[in-house]
Amino acid sequence: MINTNYLNTMKTKAILLFSILALTLGSTTFAQAPDDCAVTLSYFTEPAKIKNYEAALPHYEKLITECPNYNLAIYQYGVRMFEYFVEEKGDKSKVNDLIKAWELRLKNFPEQTKEGDVLSTIAQIRYDNNVGTKAEQFKAFDDAFKKDPENFTSGKSLYAYFSLAVDLHSTGEKELQEIFDLYDVIIEKLDKEKNDLAERLTPIMEKEEAGTALTEKEKDAKDVYENNIGVYGTVESSVNGKLGQLADCDNLVPLYSKDFEEKKTDVSWVKNAAGRLSAKDCDDPLFFKLVQQLHTLEPSAKSAYYLGKLAEKDGKGSQALEYFNQAADLETNNADKAKIYYSIAENFRKKGSYGQARTYYNKMIGVKPSAGIAYLKMAQMIGESSNNCGGTVFEKRAVNWLAADMADKAARVDPSLSSTASATASSYRQRAPSKSDIFSAGMGGKTISFSGCWVGGSVKVPNL
């Protein structure tokens, strides 16, 4: 006879075992199911969208644990959430969570994330919130820049990177030469970013100057480009200010004099030393020694340029011009080529050869679109030529409109010159014909050509 109690007991155990297995398998499926990740993501993003981050936070924790690579929105909203807690609520306990959100984005969505941008952002968070020592903060920026310099574009972070280096020098943790080396890297990076923006801005300016209406997209792009050029210009001024007296001749000459005998056969060292003394116009016999040594070791664009500067200083303009032309032919680096073209242009300008000067100012702009100084110098030459261009008094004064337009270009591509260039443009417009002059001469809306003068081009008289 079958024992009914025994069967019931076994049946109960079997049901219990099945239930446990079902729950176990069910929970495993639950942790991995895409549908569940979608639901949790919705629970997180919906309150996050309306900045109800306290309600969103528990769901974020579940997402990064169970669905870390499900959707980029996890980290996009996660970053916003922790920025809110840290920056608006002042909750510094969430700083590490903010850093982790960026790190998880980079780890789980590397194809949709710019490494240099993220690493520099993390370094900036550490810096802004005083996380770690200054040496550790510097290393975070240094690692970010060296891993992905192309996408390390934040002006704020570039300044912090350099500022920390100078601070570490002041405490004896970095050599002066390290500061100079980093300065060169930072300035080159800022120049590149400004030039890239100026290159994109130039065709928009040309379209606008031609009297063609800009599209809304072009207007927006113009505002963005001009604003970002301004930011980089401000950062460059701040970097130069931070470097301050460290790069004065009083520091440079003893530094390089001390090492000259030991390093005079090191081409790279001689180039850097000569370049820095040249940039600061250090009037010291050491500069001549460095230039001569550089020309002996490696006759090059740089050595020819420095010899040109020395000849210029001695009042030997023609010899200087020969050296500068040699340097321009040999130079391959656009930033350095721009300096050479500027020196040649200045040489011609001082001689009164304005047409030739303009040729080299334009060559400078060709290799360095953000060279506002070239536009400003051309504006000054045009303004100085007003009495020599045009057949009537009205036409002679109209030249000032061309000068003003050229000065405006300087202000747009180089914010460091904005104040000077804007004042210069205003001055030229005041010298141009007034409304009553235009009315009296009956010239409103007419075009004046300056083809018979080195200035060339034409200008359309404003309509009354």
The yes-or-no verdict on residue 74 having pLDDT over 90 is yes
Using alpha carbons, select from 379, 388, 369 the residue that is nearest to residue 454.
388
Q: Is there a domain that residue 406 lies in?
A: yes
For residues 321 and 419, state if they share a domain.
yes
For residues 283 and 424, state if they share a domain.
yes
For residues 371 and 268, state if they share a domain.
yes
For residues 190 and 304, state if they share a domain.
no
20 against 148, higher pLDDT:
148
Residue range of the domain that includes 3: 1-32
Using alpha carbons, select from 202, 242, 236 the residue that is nearest to residue 417.
236
- Domain termination residue (choose one: 70, 97, 113): 113
For residues 182 and 316, state if they share a domain.
no
Please report, as a single letter, which amino acid is at residue 445.
Answer: G
* Residues forming beta bridges with residue 3, ordered by sequence position: none
Q: Mean pLDDT across the stretch 293-297?
A: 90
Length of the chain counted residue by residue: 464
Q: Is there a domain that residue 463 lies in?
A: no
What pLDDT is stored for residue 312 in this prediction? 87
What pLDDT is stored for residue 402 in this prediction? 95
Please report, as a single letter, which amino acid is at residue 189.
Answer: K
- Going by pLDDT thresholds of 50, 70 and 90, the confidence category of residue 19 is very low
What pLDDT is stored for residue 208 in this prediction? 87
The yes-or-no verdict on residue 456 having pLDDT over 70 is yes
The yes-or-no verdict on residue 439 having pLDDT over 60 is yes
What pLDDT is stored for residue 33 in this prediction? 59
For residues 335 and 416, state if they share a domain.
yes
Q: Is there a domain that residue 127 lies in?
A: no
Q: What is the mean pLDDT of the chain?
A: 89
Q: Is there a domain that residue 341 lies in?
A: yes
For residues 10 and 108, state if they share a domain.
no
What pLDDT is stored for residue 370 in this prediction? 94
What pLDDT is stored for residue 337 in this prediction? 93
Taking only the tens place, the pLDDT of each residue in 50-65 is 999 999 999 999 999 9
Q: Mean pLDDT across the stretch 361-389?
A: 95
Q: What is the DSSP string of 144-192?
A: HHHH-GGG---HHHHHHHHHHHHHHHHTTSS-HHHHHHHHHHHHHHHHH
* Residues forming beta bridges with residue 460, ordered by sequence position: 447
9 against 343, higher pLDDT:
343
* Residues forming beta bridges with residue 459, ordered by sequence position: 448
| CA torsion angle 222 227 229 235 (round to 10) | -170
What pLDDT is stored for residue 32 in this prediction? 45
For residues 55 and 159, state if they share a domain.
no
Q: Where residue 327 sits, what CATH number does that domain have?
A: 1.25.40.10
- Going by pLDDT thresholds of 50, 70 and 90, the confidence category of residue 331 is very high
Alpha helical stretches, state H, 244-352: 249-263, 267-279, 285-297, 301-313, 317-330, 334-351
The yes-or-no verdict on residue 28 having pLDDT over 70 is no
Q: Is there a domain that residue 128 lies in?
A: no
What pLDDT is stored for residue 357 in this prediction? 96
| Ranges 4-13, 124-133, 194-203, 338-347: which has the least confidence | 4-13
pTM for the model stands at 0.70
Return left, alpha or beta for 51; rule: phi > 0 is left, psi -120 to 50 is alpha, else beta.
left
Using alpha carbons, select from 282, 331, 349 the residue that is nearest to residue 309.
282
Backbone φ and ψ for 449, nearest 5 degrees, come out as: -100, 145
* Residues forming beta bridges with residue 449, ordered by sequence position: 458
- Going by pLDDT thresholds of 50, 70 and 90, the confidence category of residue 18 is very low
Q: Is there a domain that residue 455 lies in?
A: no
The yes-or-no verdict on residue 319 having pLDDT over 80 is yes
Number of domains within the chain: 4
For residues 98 and 235, state if they share a domain.
no
Reduced to 3 states (helix: H, G, I; strand: E, B; else coil), residue 282 is coil
Q: In degrees, to the nearest 5, what angle opens at C-alpha 291 toward C-alphas 189 and 338?
A: 35
For residues 371 and 252, state if they share a domain.
yes
Q: Tell me whether strands 447-449 and 458-460 are parallel, antiparallel or unpaired.
A: antiparallel
| Token code pair at residue 360 | 């080299």
What pLDDT is stored for residue 210 in this prediction? 83
How far is residue 306 CA from its own chain's centroid? 28
What pLDDT is stored for residue 34 in this prediction? 62
What pLDDT is stored for residue 23 in this prediction? 37
| Ranges 3-12, 62-71, 92-101, 404-413: which has the least confidence | 3-12
Using alpha carbons, select from 457, 411, 406, 401 the residue that is nearest to residue 434.
401
| Ranges 7-21, 74-88, 409-423: which has the least confidence | 7-21
57 against 28, higher pLDDT:
57
Q: Is there a domain that residue 459 lies in?
A: no
Percent of the chain with pLDDT strictly greater than 70: 93
Q: Mean pLDDT across the stretch 327-337?
A: 92
| Ranges 19-33, 253-267, 295-309: which has the least confidence | 19-33
Instruction: Compute the half-sphere exposure of residue 233: CA atoms within 13 Å on the CB side of its CA.
Output: 22
The yes-or-no verdict on residue 409 having pLDDT over 90 is yes
Using alpha carbons, select from 243, 249, 273, 277 the residue that is nearest to residue 162.
243
For residues 176 and 83, state if they share a domain.
no
Using alpha carbons, select from 125, 136, 201 the residue that is nearest to residue 164.
136
Reduced to 3 states (helix: H, G, I; strand: E, B; else coil), residue 459 is strand
Q: Is there a domain that residue 325 lies in?
A: yes
Measure the CA–CA gap between 327 and 317, rounded to whole angstroms.
15
For residues 232 and 323, state if they share a domain.
no
